[in-house]
Amino acid sequence: MRVVLGVSGGIAAYKAAALLRLFSESGHDVTVVPTAAALEFVGAPTWAALSGKSVASDVWTGVDQVPHVRIGQQADLVVVAPATADLLAKAACGLADDLLTATLLTARCPVVFAPAMHTEMWLHPATQANVATLRARGAHVIDPASGRLTGADTGLGRLPEPADIAAEALAVAAAATRGGGAAQVAASDDDPGMPLTGVRVLVTAGGTREPLDPVRFLGNRSSGKQGVALAEVAAARGAEVTLIACNLEAAVLPRSAMRVLPAGSALELADAVSREAASADVVVMCAAVADFRPKHYAEAKIKKTHGSGHDDSAPVVELVRNPDILAGLVADRGTAPSPVVVGFAAETGDDSGSVLELSRAKLARKGCDLLVANEVGSDKTFGADTNSVHLLFRDGRPDIAVGPTTKRRVSEAVWDAVTTLLPH
């Protein structure tokens, strides 16, 4: 496969050398197209030595070969890593002031952007609007990772690891091959790239918190990353999305097609879902809902010395069961075909069964149309940028295994499955 590796001018440009090697060692023919700014970080001799090809950033070198047109025309896959805020803006606006941006305009193959920048730049409405534009046109924009940035800063905006970028980019290329191509064109209501146009989607994300007193609560480890990714992918595919956000750690990217409603506890979430589900075509219950809540809420902070003396005793917290929101949705729907209900089974496995066995039992018990099952724990799934799941269908079709891969790719697989369940 002919891969074009675009490199823009960020400190993460040095990681693109490892990405180049991964593509080359997998047998792909790689052409590196850096920007002039990228060459300030990693010089042309490095790219030439690793790729075995001469490297240029301007449109005048080898002009007789018309490189600003030919490179994009001949590519099977274009990957831009790192993609700076400046590069994303130029690509979204269709500028072509150097060899890389000209290549992006002529490419009719899958194009993958791997952004890298400071958190403030990534979350700026201008950058998010540019990302939304690129995704709407068919480009695949990988969400950045969280971690150490330039200097002492830490946060969202770190370039994902080269191996993860390579795996995701090759998966995008393979999917495009199966689908018969992936030209980047503006999507319309009839465009298969926008299969959820007009579909009203409700997604819950995060973890509920059950208050004990004004300063304490019972909660769980859910960051909300998977739920947010599900909402973003649905919006990128044309859906009208309502996201009920329960104590999110993940950032929600501003989108005109998404409204965000807050919820704290399981009871608050149940009320919000009850209000919103009536007008939804699809409900995705991704939030980690607490099964139990304290029976009594203390109006004042529970003191360490709660008893009459200064002993080592502790208060006893009596719990009561929270409502089963997922089962309630299915019951309220009855025999109606809408909304399509998607549940999540976050399981650890125990003596009574494996993660899949427990998840299949949950699917039968809840009666939802699709159950997304995954194994969780302190070092699995919660807070991570990757996930592995099984998609289990109520109608008996074969399970689908997804991952390990990014949570965005998991979301895409979930929406691919949901699309097959929607009435046509």
Indicate if the pLDDT at residue 147 is higher than 50.
Answer: yes
Distance CA 321, CA 319 (A): 7
Joined tokens for residue 308 = 């009459």
Q: What are the residues facing 79 on neighbouring strands?
A: 5, 112
How many other C-beta atoms lie within 10 A of the C-beta of residue 420?
Answer: 12
Q: What is the pTM of this model?
A: 0.59
**How far apart are the C-alpha atoms of 353 and 80, rounded to whole Å?**
44
Q: 2-179 has which CATH code?
A: 3.40.50.1950
Quote the pLDDT of residue 377: 52
Name the catalytic one among 130, 220, 322, 387: 220
Whole-angstrom Cα distance, residue 356 to residue 341? 19
- Strand 292-294 to 319-321 pairing: antiparallel
Is the link from the previous residue into 45 a cis peptide, with omega within 30 of 0?
no
What is the phi/psi pair of residue 56, to 5°?
-140, 155
**pLDDT at residue 303, as a whole number:** 84
Q: Do the beta carbons of residue 330 and residue 367 sit within 8 Å?
A: yes
Listed in order, strand segments (DSSP E) in 65-120 are: 77-83, 111-115
Given a cut of 60, whether residue 58 has pLDDT beyond it is yes
Does residue 99 contact residue 62 with C-beta atoms inside 8 Å? Answer: no
pLDDT at 39: 95
Which residues are paired to 340 by β-bridges? 282
Q: Is 220 a catalytic residue?
A: yes
- Flag whether pLDDT at 83 surpasses 70: yes
Q: Is the pLDDT of residue 131 over 60?
A: yes
The 10s digit of each residue's pLDDT in 366-395 is 999 999 998 765 455 555 667 789 999 999
CATH superfamily of 200-296+311-421: CoaB-like (3.40.50.10300)
| DSSP letter, residue 136 | H
Please give the pLDDT value at position 185.
Answer: 33
Chain region(s) in the chain for CATH 3.40.50.10300: 200-296+311-421
Side-chain-side CA neighbours of residue 114 (13 Å): 29
Average pLDDT for the chain: 86
**Does residue 170 surpass a pLDDT of 70?**
yes
pLDDT confidence bin for 146, thresholds 50/70/90:
confident
Question: What percent of the chain is predicted at pLDDT more than 90?
Answer: 57
Q: How many CA atoms lie within 13 A of 405 on its CB side?
A: 21
Residue pLDDT, tens place only, 192-220 = 346 888 899 999 999 999 999 999 999 98
Q: How far apart are CA 415 and CA 413, in angstroms?
A: 5
DSSP 6: E
Q: Note the pLDDT tens digit of each residue in 340-371.
A: 999 998 877 777 778 888 999 999 999 999 99
Separation in Å, CA 293 to CA 251, 365, 408: 27, 22, 31
Residues of the chain with CATH 3.40.50.1950: 2-179
Element of type H or E holding 50: helix 44-51
pLDDT in tens, 116-127: 999 899 989 999
Q: Is 340 helix (H, G, I), strand (E, B) or coil?
A: strand
Say if residues 2 and 79 touch (Cβ distance below 8 Å). Answer: no
